[in-house]
Amino acid sequence: MNASVALRLPVVPFWSADDVRASLRAAGSIGLRTRALPAGSTLFSRGEALRQVFVVMSGAVQVQRADRAGQARIVDLALAGDVVGFDDFASGLYAADALVLRDAVVGAIEPKRWWRLSVRNPRLPALASLGAAQVHRALRQNMRLRLGAPSRLADCLLQLAEKLGSVDIELPLSYQDLANYLNLRPETMSRALHELERSSCLRRAGRTRLELDPERLRLTRATPRRRQV
């Protein structure tokens, strides 16, 4: 009975994209220290003391943890506009490893300093807003993990297309790692990919280059565990 309360609300886009860069730009990025990092470098590692929370300005960063069996799990994929590292703000220690996938520029925010700055500059986005942005992403990943394999992949690709602002995208990681992120086996990933290709949701134009059809992808995403004709 509890679960049926929200049923009659209209269906609207579930989560809006939120690009933290925009608010930083609006604030004139006062006092934002940026850092350029080459692909393959490390943004932070597990166990280090947390000094900064990061905003990805460009490029791509993956965040991974070891699960209880010691297996590495990719738990986050941050592109331009995304916030990384906020989850460890309270504990003071990074609990995950952040790896730069594509040459990136990140804004490094030192909480204390940022807080002082924002006392004087009310236009500066509050730390808390950055946190809210990361919660949003975590919740979207949450909902994604509730879908079947093809829908899961479709949702992920749609988000990538949205972020990158193009239907013609270059994946920042291997299919293997993408499978890890989506909690699928590489074999299943391969099959889901072919499934999407078969239903004209996308066309493969190179190893990790895809041309997407957002309309059809949305259709597939909405299809609960059943193939389209």
Partner DNA sequence: CGGGCCCTTGACAAGCGTCAAATTCGGTGG
Partner DNA sequence: CCACCGAATTTGACGCTTGTCAAGGGCCCG
Q: Binders of a copy of itself among 200-219, rule CB under 8 A?
A: none
**Nearer Cβ to DNA (3/49):** 3
Distance CA 63, CA 109 (A): 18
Number of H helices, E strands in the chain: 7, 9
When CB distances are held under 5 to 8 angstroms depending on the partner's kind, the choice from a copy of itself, DNA, none that residue 29 binds is none
Distance CA 70, CA 55 (A): 28
CB 210 → DNA: shortest distance, Å?
Answer: 11
When CB distances are held under 5 to 8 angstroms depending on the partner's kind, the choice from a copy of itself, DNA, none that residue 189 binds is DNA
For a copy of itself, which residue of 31, 131, 148, 214 counts as binding (CB under 8 A)? 131
Distance CA 4, CA 10 (A): 14
Q: How many residues bind a copy of itself (CB under 8 A)?
A: 69
Task: Say how far residue 64 (Cα) sits from the centre of its chain.
Answer: 12
**Contacts with DNA, residue ranges (CB under 7 A):** 1, 148-150, 174-176, 183-194, 204, 206-208, 224-227
Distance CA 72, CA 53 (A): 22
When CB distances are held under 5 to 8 angstroms depending on the partner's kind, the choice from a copy of itself, DNA, none that residue 229 binds is none
* CA-only gyration radius of the chain, Å: 19
Name residues whose C-beta falls within 8 Å of residue 41's C-beta, 6 or more positions apart in sequence: 99, 100
* Region class of 31: left (phi > 0), else alpha (psi between -120 and 50), else beta: left
For a copy of itself, which residue of 57, 124, 189, 221 counts as binding (CB under 8 A)? 221
- Three-class secondary structure assignment of 169-199: EECCCCHHHHHHHCCCCHHHHHHHHHHHHHC
For a copy of itself, which residue of 41, 183, 188, 208 counts as binding (CB under 8 A)? 183
For a copy of itself, which residue of 65, 102, 191, 216 counts as binding (CB under 8 A)? 65
Q: Which residues bind a copy of itself (CB under 8 A)?
A: 1-7, 9, 11, 14-16, 18, 46-47, 62, 64-75, 86-91, 95-97, 99, 101, 111, 115, 119, 126-136, 138-139, 141-143, 145-146, 173-174, 176-177, 180, 183, 221-222, 224
